Homo-oligomer: A and B are copies of this chain.
């Protein structure tokens, strides 16, 4: 593992690390923010951030304004890249020319179908390998929260629902709540998981809510002027699933806000408060 960037920021340090991922069979870049408390020797809880389509580890760490909140609450923030990468084409990582499949579009699942299954194992990476790596190499406790945006909002909700006991808090911005029912998700799941839609249920937050054995309260923010709202995001499906299952959901729809990091930044402080409560 190698530290490829480091910048003092709000009294802590924003770092970017490159490490070899066994789940993905490639090197991965990960943003790690260490708050002042961590630099002073305290062990800190960790908030995992999963980014959206076409993002790398850079988008969130440069645009969201997260560091001020992490510094204030004493949380480490870990923001990985969104898929296996192989820009030089040496590793045989499958790709697709579209922005919504292949590199930059891992959808946080473990692919079962060729050619994707060889490398696209983002669920194993974010839910197991990455926390193991973080907790081995940084001053982290085992208190974990998870949050994300759009495809990463899907990733955060679905990953927490699949792993009861592993996270203490979960939230999302403009998540793809029901990938099985919307074009982005159907395209990616058909490629990664195969055309049989019954295999998709285990990777879809709206499908997982009914049978959840842990009911962490969900905080979800959504912009009312998000251009993807009606076709790709459909938060009403999450509202209905949570109501049917008795799963606590705070879904806030904000007039005028779109899908950008200007929206994420505006409400990220409140998500940190939510996670800081969960992580103690």
Contacts and interface: CB of A to CB of B under 8 A. Distances in A.
Contacts of A225: 8
A256 B266 CA distance: 28
A62 B258 contact: no
A215 to B, nearest CB: 32
B68 A262 contact: no
Contacts of A8: 223, 225, 254-258, 262-263, 266
B14 A262 contact: yes
Contact of A10 (B10, B255, B260, B266): B266
A65 interface: yes
A114 B246 CA distance: 73
A252 interface: no
A261 interface: yes
Contacts of A265: 9-10, 65, 67-68
Interface string A249-275: 000001111101111011000000000
A62 B62 CA distance: 8
A63 interface: yes
A137 interface: no
Contacts of A63: 62-63
A212 B202 CA distance: 70
A262 B67 contact: yes
Contact of A7 (B68, B254, B263): B263
Nearest to A269: B68
Nearest to A10: B266
Contact of A262 (B9, B254, B257, B258): B9
Interface centre among A8, A10, A67 (most CB of B within 10 A): A8
Interface in A195-244: 223, 225
16 contacts: A7-B257, A7-B258, A7-B263, A8-B225, A8-B257, A8-B263, A9-B263, A9-B266, A10-B265, A62-B62, A62-B63, A62-B261, A63-B63, A65-B68, A67-B262, A68-B266
What 9 pairs between A and B have smallest CB-CB spacing? Answer: A7-B262, A8-B256, A65-B65, A9-B262, A8-B257, A10-B266, A7-B260, A62-B63, A14-B262
Interface of A: 7-11, 13-14, 62-63, 65, 67-68, 223, 225, 254-258, 260-263, 265-266
Given A8-B223, A62-B63, 10 more contacts: A7-B262, A8-B255, A8-B257, A8-B258, A9-B266, A10-B266, A13-B256, A63-B63, A65-B265, A68-B265
